[in-house]
């Protein structure tokens, strides 16, 4: 769902069903990816495969996914600005973890995963709006069984085309929401005549 905030005082704000879906048959296997044309931008909802070392082929799948996903996003940005949201299964910087050292040989922490993520950001000209607004904030979105201790990692992100950064009003993590292992993230931005709020 997308929340469209009306700028006309005589109209109500509404939740709308997502518009036309863009086929991505190869990357959409097992429900890992949905792409929608939202008129003014393209919304990419992703659950990036977890590079589980104990499952045969999982690391190779993730490496293949990273390359193909980057190629897909490159093609989409030629058409319109892009908004990516979801569980990207990466601890990008030391500010994205409660652990003292992010250079670890385990899923979400490996150097090759961070390298691939940086290539995505740089080659496709994407920005992390939360980190842009809060460059020094220690933040997590996934706590597992340690929510009560506030020990976790930031695995869930919005990434947007850099030219959308001036339009961002809110980019935040709702740490006080619920009591589950994960917490929601929120992005609010203005495009065209109406504001848009996206949640993941």
Q: Among the options 87, 128, 156, 167, which is catalytic?
A: 87
Q: Among the options 3, 37, 40, 47, which is catalytic?
A: 47
pLDDT of residue 181: 82
Report the relative pairing of strands 126-127 and 2-5 from DSSP bridges. Answer: unpaired
pLDDT of residue 141: 92
Could you give the 3-state DSSP secondary structure of residue 68?
A: helix
Output the tens digit of pLDDT for each of the chain's 200 residues. 454 454 444 444 444 455 677 777 677 777 788 899 988 999 999 999 999 999 999 999 999 999 999 999 999 999 999 999 999 999 999 999 988 888 888 999 999 999 999 999 999 999 999 999 999 999 899 987 767 767 899 999 999 999 999 999 999 998 887 667 889 999 999 876 444 555 55
pLDDT of residue 11: 40
pLDDT of residue 18: 56
| Contacts (Cβ under 8 Å, ≥6 apart) of 139 | 95, 96, 130, 154, 173
pLDDT of residue 150: 77
pLDDT of residue 13: 43
Per-residue CA distances from 64 to 49, 68, 76 (Å): 10, 6, 19
pLDDT of residue 29: 72
7 DSSP 8-state letter: S
Does the active-site annotation cover 60? no
pLDDT of residue 123: 97
Q: What's the CA gap between 160 and 191, in Å, rounded?
A: 13
Does the active-site annotation cover 30? no
Residue (of 94, 100, 98, 87) closest to 155 by Cα position: 87
130 DSSP 8-state letter: H
Q: What's the CA gap between 48 and 32, in Å, rounded?
A: 6
């Amino acid at each position: 769902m997308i929340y469209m905030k009306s700028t006309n005082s005589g109209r109500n704000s509404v939740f709308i069903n997502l518009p036309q879906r863009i086929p991505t048959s190869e990357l959409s296997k097992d429900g890992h990816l949905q792409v929608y044309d939202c008129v003014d931008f393209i919304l990419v909802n992703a659950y990036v495969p977890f590079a589980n070392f104990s499952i045969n082929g999982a690391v190779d799948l993730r490496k293949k996914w990273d390359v193909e996903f980057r190629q897909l996003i490159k093609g989409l940005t030629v058409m319109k600005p892009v908004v990516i949201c979801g569980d990207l299964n990466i601890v990008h910087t030391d500010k994205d973890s409660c652990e003292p050292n992010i250079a670890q040989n385990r899923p979400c922490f490996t150097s090759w995963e961070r390298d691939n993520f940086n290539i995505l950001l740089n080659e496709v000209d994407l920005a992390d709006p939360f980190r842009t607004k809060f460059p020094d904030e220690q933040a997590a979105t996934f706590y597992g069984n340690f929510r009560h201790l506030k020990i976790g990692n930031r695995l869930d992100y919005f990434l947007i085309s850099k030219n959308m950064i001036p339009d961002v009003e809110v980019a935040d993590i709702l740490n006080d929401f619920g009591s589950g292992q994960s917490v929601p993230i929120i992005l609010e931005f203005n495009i065209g005549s109406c504001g848009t709020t996206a949640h993941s």
